[in-house]
Homo-oligomer: A and B are copies of this chain.
Amino acid sequence: MLKIGELASLAGVSRDTLRFYEKHGLIIPSQRTESGYRLYSNIDVERISFIVSAKEVGFTLNEIHQLLELEVTKDKKSCQDVKEFVDNKITIVNQRLLEIEKIKHSLQTLSDACCGGDEPATQCTILGALNEQAR
């Protein structure tokens, strides 16, 4: 079991952030010591790392909360709901993948093409690079 400071430095967030996430129901420590110190388990480690990843790729805390709440209990009703919600997110994620690929490609173009090469000057801004790639 980890104390808050240990989990914080492991996850690369601040103690305050962990307490803030707890207040908003995202990560609630499995236990407390008698004196009230939070104690986090391995599952909590996974949980915070998911939260951090999901946040980095543009999900809001609210969306992350919903994702973490998801639980398919195999009865048809919950399944239907979850599938709908998840498929929706997959669509969004796919769009983001395309967008991030596009941006990556143009950053690459920008990095590669403009250093002493004799490419046209149109490639030498991010928008130029984006257009180059669109052709």
Contact = CB atoms under 8 A, between A and B. Distances in A.
A54 to B, nearest CB: 6
Given A58-B58, A86-B107, A116-B79, A127 B68 contact: yes
B74 A124 contact: yes
**Contact count band on A:** 35 or more
Contacts of A79: 114-116
Nearest to A74: B114
Interface of A: 43, 46-47, 50, 53-54, 56-58, 67-68, 70-74, 76, 79, 82-83, 86-87, 89-90, 93-97, 99-104, 107-108, 110-111, 114-116, 121, 124-127, 130-131
